[in-house]
């Protein structure tokens, strides 16, 4: 399933320059803290809250669930966007609802860090987790956490920088009502 929802965009992040900007040990530790917050708040792990999945596409999945919430990591409270990515192609919402653990391919997040983290990207931290909470990796072995795709032609930041507005979000932001 991992192959079905992994994007070519994420696979293109094998350059040394990008490896220096994302996937560091500090990024991995920070991503682990976010995952722990998601478990504590019921957005990840056994018995996690579910909504009604909606149709998606690569790189995320054929069916998706998206949650907007806040989390506190290292004393900073920021907006946390959680996307559960389901597959394979052709899976229905009813199939996902009946057996989410069988269809979950990955969980992708955006967490808005403190001012100054990376103003060019609106201070967003990205991570892609496997269903068990471990970080996914690109083909070069880089953990997908941090400034994934910054300065590249592909990856989280490369894609989200094309979102309308200046918030790097493709879906409506519930805190502002904008798209």
pLDDT value of position 120? 86
Query: Please, are residues 117 and 123 in contact by the beta-carbon 8 Å criterion?
Result: yes
pLDDT along the chain (179 residues), means of 10: 37 37 90 96 92 85 91 95 93 94 94 92 92 92 82 67 71 48
How many whole angstroms separate alpha carbon 51 and alpha carbon 149? 29
How many whole angstroms separate alpha carbon 104 and alpha carbon 161? 26
Instruction: Name every residue whose Cβ is closer than 8 Å to that of residue 174 and which is 6 or more positions away in sequence.
Output: 68
DSSP summary character for residue 135: B
Pairing assessment for the beta strands 63-73 and 54-55 based on DSSP bridges? antiparallel
Strands (DSSP E) along the chain, which ranges? Answer: 54-55, 63-73, 76-86, 104-112, 124-129, 145-146
Start-to-end Cα distance in the chain: 30
pTM: 0.80
In our burial notation (b when 16+ CB lie closer than 10 A, e otherwise), range 21-55 reads bbbbeebbebbbebbebbeebebbeeebeeeebee
pLDDT value of position 162? 63
Other beta carbons less than 10 A from residue 138's beta carbon: 24
Token readout for 43 is: 């957005």
pLDDT value of position 158? 67
* Nearest by Cα to 43 from 117, 133, 153, 124: 133
Query: Please, are residues 142 and 20 in contact by the beta-carbon 8 Å criterion?
Result: no
How many whole angstroms separate alpha carbon 67 and alpha carbon 86? 14
Token readout for 171 is: 């879906």
């Amino acid at each position: 399933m991992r192959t079905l929802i992994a994007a070519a965009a994420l696979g293109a992040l094998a350059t040394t320059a990008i490896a220096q900007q994302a996937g560091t040990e500090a990024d991995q530790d920070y991503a682990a803290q976010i995952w722990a917050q998601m478990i504590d708040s019921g957005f990840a792990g056994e018995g996690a809250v579910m909504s009604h999945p909606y149709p998606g596409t690569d790189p995320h999945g054929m069916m998706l669930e998206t949650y907007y919430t806040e989390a506190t990591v290292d004393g900073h409270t920021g907006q946390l966007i959680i996307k559960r990515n389901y597959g394979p192609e052709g899976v229905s919402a009813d199939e996902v609802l009946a057996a989410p653990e069988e269809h979950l391919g990955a969980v992708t997040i955006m967490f808005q860090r403190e001012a100054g983290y990376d103003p060019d990207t609106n201070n967003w931290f990205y991570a892609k987790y496997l269903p068990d909470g471990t970080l996914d990796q690109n083909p070069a072995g880089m953990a997908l956490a941090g400034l994934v795709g910054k300065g590249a032609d592909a990856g989280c930041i490369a894609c989200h920088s094309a979102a309308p507005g200046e918030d790097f979000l493709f879906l409506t932001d519930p805190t502002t009502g904008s798209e």
